[in-house]
Amino acid sequence: MQLDNNSFAAALSIAACSLLSGNAQAQTPEVTEPGWQFESAVMYYGETDRVQALEGIFSAKKSFEDQKLLNLKLTVDTLTGASANGAIAQSEVQTFTRPSGNGYYQISSGETPLDDTFRDTRVQFNGQWTQPLSRLYTVSGGIHLSNEYDYLSLGVNASIARDFNNRNTTLSTGFSLSNDTITPEGGIPLALADMPNYSQGKFEQDGWGSEATNAQYLATRSRDSDDKTTIDFLFGITQVINKNLITQLNYSYSQVDGYMTDPFKVTSIVDSEGITRRNIYESRPDSRQKNSVFAQAKYSLGESVVDISYRYLWDDWQVKSNTIDFRYWLPFDYGGYIEPHVRYYEQEAADFYKPLQLESDQIPEFVSSDYRIGDMTATTLGVKYGHPNNDGTEWAVRAEWYHQTSNDVGVALPGLLTADDVYSDVDAVILQFSYKF
């Protein structure tokens, strides 16, 4: 006898009712899939006297039948303020041409030269779809698009994961491909070209916009835009060790080809007295191969959770770096939590990094004075507090302090130059408010 299914449910209901003596007051089950889940965050990032950024993220997640998951994310950020242009401090006032060629900016004596031209708004969109492929396989694919005034980045990614060993071990592999185009206002400077007449007051003499200054500026420009392509491969293993410990180990390889020079950065050419004779636009190789190994462990101590991760990164620019990150998640009885965070980062400079170039030496093919590829140590200290609301929503605040120290790479400093003229520290605060609903 094959019952049709309505009568199957009805017959089962009658059987259950008689088993449970009739007073079961059986309730129709009410189960709902959570609808869209939203998460938003606003972050302020501010460096003392330098860059300030405001970034907002809005993320929407929805799960569908059969464990399919869609995640959409919109990011908007705006950047203002100044950023080191790579030149060294001098005892005289220094004048620099703006990257666009429309004007100049001056730096007082003894100050690290900062370019205050930066003002940009960026909009980024990410979409990611994840779903099981078969019993043990999960696949995921996504796109990203980021656009700002002078920069466009487009990318795709895909990965696949397989569970083993009662789903205690997961192996995953994936790739991401992206293409970034930079179109700086005024065009791309010629690598190693002299920044036009920064020190001779010629702009004032000839007047802005004059044919002579224009011609001089245009002589340093090569093309309107350039691009680079990045391909990343990632291999990961996640292992559940026991009820309280989960670990992850990743290896990633990244190949970048194309324009990686920063068109806004210069290197000071310095004479034996330590006086800057001129500044040249920096030049970086057009290929970079990065490798990194990342390990993470998360351990539950009953209520609280320890999260520790480590990354070692090395590349063919001879950059090497260590990153150690530690977080301790500590809940309170009422459901709130506090999470202190410490991060330590150290990096060894790229082989073409030079804080300055001696006039007497031959200028190498590649040179950059961008402190971000120099020797550096950075520390982050922070704390986050999260609070659940009665309606199931949750807010959190986070405050962090970030400190970067540029380390001496051992370049001889001519004349009266001191390490302070060449290397400087950066202090920043990060404030964030998040809301989940």
Query: Contacts with another protein in 260-319 (CB under 8 A)?
Result: 262, 290, 292-298, 300, 305, 307, 309-314, 317, 319
For residues 211 and 333, which CB has a smaller minimum distance to another protein in the complex? 333
> Which one, 194 or 375, has the nearer CB to another protein?
375
Torsion angle, alpha carbons of 199, 202, 204, 205, to 10 = 150
Stretch that binds another protein, among 97-105, 240-248, 266-274, 276-284 (CB under 8 A): 240-248
Is residue 387 a contact residue for another protein (CB under 8 A)? no
- The number of C-alpha atoms within 13 Å of 72 and in the hemisphere containing its C-beta is 6
Backbone angles phi, psi at 65, to 5 degrees: -55, 155
Out of 48, 211, 392, 412, the only residue in the binding site for another protein (CB under 8 A) is 392
Q: Does 121 bind another protein (CB under 8 A)?
A: no
Instruction: Select the residue interacting with another protein from 52, 78, 225, 239 (CB under 8 A).
Output: 239
Query: Which is closer to another protein, CB of 163 or CB of 359?
Result: 163
**172 binding another protein? (CB under 8 A):** yes
Region of 102-110, 167-175, 204-212, 358-366 interacting with another protein (CB under 8 A): 167-175
Residue 235 one-letter amino acid: F
SS3 label, residue 116: strand
What does DSSP assign to residue 153?
A: E
375 near another protein, judged by CB under 8 A: yes
188 near another protein (CB under 8 A): no
- Cα 115 to chain centroid distance, Å, stands at 21
User: What tokens does 239 get?
Assistant: 């292992």
Tell me which stretch binds another protein (CB under 8 A): 100-108, 135-143, 189-197, 358-366. Answer: 135-143
Task: Tell me which of 178, 261, 267, 283 binds another protein, using CB under 8 A.
Answer: 178
Q: Which of residues 51-80 bind another protein (CB under 8 A)?
A: 55, 57, 59, 63, 65-67, 69, 73, 75, 77, 79
> Considering only residues 84, 94, 113, 144, which one is a binding residue for another protein as defined by CB under 8 A?
144
Q: Minimum distance between the CB of residue 82 and another protein, rounded to whole angstroms?
A: 14
Three-class SS state of 131: strand
CB 176 within 8 A of CB 154: no
Is residue 350 a contact point for another protein (CB under 8 A)? yes
299 by Cβ neighbours in 10 Å (0-12 / 13-18 / 19+) ranks as middle
Rounded distance, CA 91 to CA 83, Å? 20
Q: Does 423 engage in binding with another protein (CB under 8 A)?
A: no
Q: Do 245 and 307 meet the contact criterion of CB atoms below 8 Å apart?
A: no
* 287-301 and 304-315 beta bridge pairing: antiparallel
Q: Residue 118 in contact with residue 84, Cβ under 8 Å?
A: no
Q: Which stretch in 7-15, 104-112, 194-202, 354-362 sits in contact with another protein by CB under 8 A?
A: 7-15
Contact call for residue 134 and another protein (CB under 8 A): yes
Q: Is 379 among the residues that bind another protein (CB under 8 A)?
A: no
Among 124, 214, 225, 379, binds another protein (CB under 8 A): 124
CB nearer another protein, residue 60 or residue 192: 60
Strand ranges (E), 332-410: 337-348, 357-358, 376-388, 394-406
The stretch among 5-13, 93-101, 102-110, 187-195 that binds another protein (CB under 8 A) is 5-13
* 249 touches 293 (CB < 8 A): yes
Task: Kindly report the number of other CB atoms within 10 A of residue 291's CB atom.
Answer: 13
Q: How far is CA 241 from CA 136, 331, 339, in A?
A: 19, 23, 24
DSSP structural state of residue 322: E
Bridge-based pairing of strands 266-270 and 357-358 is: parallel
Separation of alpha carbons 135 and 140, rounded Å:
15
Q: Which is nearer to another protein, 41 or 193 (CB)?
A: 41
Q: Is 384 in the site for another protein (CB under 8 A)?
A: yes
In the complex, least distance from residue 362 CB atom to another protein, rounded to whole angstroms:
25
Cβ pair 49, 82 in contact under 8 A: yes
Among positions 78, 100, 179, 199, the unique one binding another protein when judged by CB under 8 A: 179
24 contacts another protein (rule: CB under 8 A):
yes
15 counts as binding another protein under rule CB under 8 A: yes
- Decide if 176 contacts 224 (C-beta within 8 A): no
Of 142 and 196, which CB lies nearer to another protein in the complex structure? 142
Q: How many chain residues touch another protein (CB under 8 A)?
A: 155
219 makes contact with another protein (CB under 8 A): no
